[in-house]
């Protein structure tokens, strides 16, 4: 398998830690889309070739588990939620949760999505100098969307406490990911104690919310009530612990990802006035200043293409890892049992065979007829573990884009080039500072 020798890799480990996106991209440029990394005692492969990605995520998905550092760290917070569980347990949960993410259900969330966007626009009106950090704004707005879709009118003080505790706990996980050689979670360091405390606050808040909802017994049409009503093949509901894990998973998986996608969309539009003008023309023609609903989306193909092209260049979930539970052959190369596979949509989305001039922002790529081969575009993963919230995310992204772009143009507020920092998702380093221009 092509790849660097240990002597070539060693001096570059710092780079791997500081700028993993550029590091992985450079490896793919030099060695191709199938690279072996010589890590002592471990077989590590970085795979970006679409057919090989398809093989791992779909064709032979059963041979791969989520028992990797990425997901075991996250599981400290999300437990056995959909994102971090495996096997039969995962399958049962997936089947139970699936109906809640059906397109028809998501139509009911459209109002929560545009409502959060309109409230943000109200806040912007009050802004004197018109300069703000868009990264922060998008995070706040998508958090409100997740809160409202999970808890509807119950998204009050208690739910907010729970969401905040989730984010605090997640911060610790990020710290762990950045310091992989630090003490494990069970060692009573000050940081680990704070982490335990955050988890305690989180658990109490979630369990109280669930109990209150159960006691009231009111169907609300929100995600929480759908998960409460879900039954497995034997007619059994989720346990309290499972409900907790899934609620926290949705907050983590469904908040920062959409925020990151929207932030980069604004960044790209500000850099590409032609694309921005085409977007504005479509919105004016179809909506004429009206707040969009989900029914409008089929008539907004360019809006969708802008969002999809942004997900190509800056896929929020830039890292997908898997562990081989048995030996396999991928792309003609042997993969020993226990191997760690690194699949980065960021790299796959820059493969020149599928994407001519991959660095160029060209929404046209996603218009009719021109769609790319399926596994050359994997912002939501693929196969059985395909993002359960992908329709949710696409609808939310388009509705918010259409709502905000009708009122504002966002221009860079400082001349510094924007750098991409890959953490949980890809975020602009130091935020994305923009100047608001009313349209
Ligand atoms: C899984 C990306 C939005 C919930 C995934 C995976 C990816 C992804 C790549 C697969 C991970 C893997 O195979 O290891 C994204 C992106 C989003 C987004 C880029 C936004 C642009 C959402 C939203 C929700 C959500 C809005 C919920 C409301 C989930 C869940 C899983 C998941 C629960 C685990 C599914 C399973 O394994 O059964 N997401 N996601 N995601 N996502 Fe999303």
DSSP states along 116-160: HHHHHHHHHHT-SS-EEEHHHHHHHHHHHHHHHHHHGGGTTHHHH
Residue 381 beta carbon below 6 angstroms from any ligand 1 atom: yes
The maximal CA–CA distance of the chain, rounded, in angstroms, is 64
- 38 Cα to the center of ligand 1, angstroms: 30
Residue 363 beta carbon below 6 angstroms from any ligand 1 atom: no
- 86 Cα to the center of ligand 1, angstroms: 15
Q: What is the ipTM of this complex?
A: 0.99
For residues 226 and 100, the answer to whether their CB atoms sit within 8 Å is yes
pLDDT in tens, the chain (439 residues): 899 999 888 888 888 888 899 999 999 999 999 999 998 899 999 999 999 999 999 999 999 999 999 999 999 999 999 999 999 999 999 999 999 999 999 999 999 999 999 999 999 998 888 999 999 999 999 999 999 999 887 666 777 888 888 888 888 888 887 787 788 878 889 988 988 988 998 899 889 889 888 888 777 789 999 999 999 999 999 999 999 999 999 999 999 999 999 999 999 999 999 999 999 999 999 999 999 999 999 999 999 999 999 999 999 999 999 999 999 999 999 999 999 999 999 999 999 999 999 999 999 999 977 777 889 999 999 999 999 999 999 999 999 999 999 999 999 998 889 999 998 899 999 999 999 999 8
358: left (phi over 0), alpha (psi -120 to 50) or beta: alpha
Residue 93 CA, closest ligand 1 atom number: 38
Residue 388 beta carbon below 6 angstroms from any ligand 1 atom: yes
Task: Give the span between the Cα atoms of 90 and 80, in whole angstroms.
Answer: 8
For residues 402 and 283, the answer to whether their CB atoms sit within 8 Å is yes
Task: Give the span between the Cα atoms of 228 and 96, in whole angstroms.
Answer: 10
What are the beta bridge partners of residue 342?
A: 46, 321
Q: Work out the angle between the directed axes of helices 273-286 and 390-405 (0-180°, nearest 10).
A: 90
Test site for ligand 1: of 138, 253, 347, most ligand atoms within 8 A of the Cβ: 253
Continuous segment of H or E residues that includes residue 409: strand 408-412
What is the model's pTM?
Answer: 0.96
Say how far residue 203 (Cα) sits from the centre of its chain. 23
List, as own/partner pairs, every contact residues 172-181 make where C-beta atoms lie below 8 angstroms and the sequence separation is at least 24, other chains included: 172/76, 172/198, 173/73, 173/74, 173/76, 173/77, 174/423, 174/424, 176/73, 176/76, 177/69, 177/70, 177/73, 178/17, 180/69
């Amino acid at each position: 398998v092509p790849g660097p020798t240990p002597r070539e890799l060693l001096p570059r480990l710092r780079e791997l830690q500081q700028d993993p996106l550029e590091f992985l991209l450079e490896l793919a440029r030099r060695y191709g889309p199938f690279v072996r990394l010589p890590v002592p005692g471990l077989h590590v492969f970085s795979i970006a070739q679409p057919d090989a990605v398809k093989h791992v995520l779909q064709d032979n998905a059963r041979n791969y588990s989520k028992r990797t550092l990425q997901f075991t760290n996250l599981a400290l917070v999300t437990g056995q939620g959909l994102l971090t569980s495996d096997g039969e347990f995962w399958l049962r949960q997936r089947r139970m949760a699936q109906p809640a993410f059906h397109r028809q259900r998501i139509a009911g969330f459209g109002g929560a999505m545009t409502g959060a966007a309109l409230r943000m626009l109200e806040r912007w009106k009050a802004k004197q100098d018109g300069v703000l950090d868009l990264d922060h704004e998008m995070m706040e707005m998508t958090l409100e969307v997740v809160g409202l879709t999970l808890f509807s009118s119950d998204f009050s003080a208690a739910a907010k406490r729970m969401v905040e505790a989730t984010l605090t706990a997640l911060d610790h996980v990020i710290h762990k990911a950045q310091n992989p050689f630090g003490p494990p979670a069970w060692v009573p360091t000050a940081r680990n104690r704070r982490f335990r405390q955050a988890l305690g606050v989180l658990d109490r808040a979630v369990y109280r919310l669930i109990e209150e909802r159960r006691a009231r017994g009111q169907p609300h049409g929100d995600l929480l009530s759908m998960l409460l009503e879900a039954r497995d093949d034997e007619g059994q509901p989720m346990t309290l612990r499972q409900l907790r894990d899934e609620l926290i998973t949705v907050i983590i998986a469904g908040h920062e990802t959409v925020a990151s996608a929207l932030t980069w969309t604004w960044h790209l539009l500000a850099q590409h006035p032609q694309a921005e003008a085409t977007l504005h023309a479509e919105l004016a023609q179809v909506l004429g200043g009206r707040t969009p609903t989900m029914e409008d989306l089929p008539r907004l193909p360019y809006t969708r293409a802008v969002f999809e092209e942004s997900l190509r260049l800056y896929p929020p979930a830039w890292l997908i890892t898997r562990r081989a539970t048995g030996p396999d052959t991928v792309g003609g190369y042997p993969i020993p049992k226990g191997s760690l596979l690194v699949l980065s949509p960021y790299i796959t989305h820059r493969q020149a065979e599928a994407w001519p001039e991959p660095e160029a922002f060209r929404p046209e790529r996603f218009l009719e007829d021109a769609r790319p081969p399926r596994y050359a575009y994997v912002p939501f993963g693929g196969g059985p573990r395909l993002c359960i919230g992908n329709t949710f995310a696409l609808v939310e992204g388009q509705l918010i884009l259409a709502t905000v772009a009708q009122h504002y143009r966002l221009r860079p507020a400082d001349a510094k080039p924007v750098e991409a920092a890959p953490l949980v998702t890809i975020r602009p380093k130091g935020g994305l500072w923009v100047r608001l221009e009313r349209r």
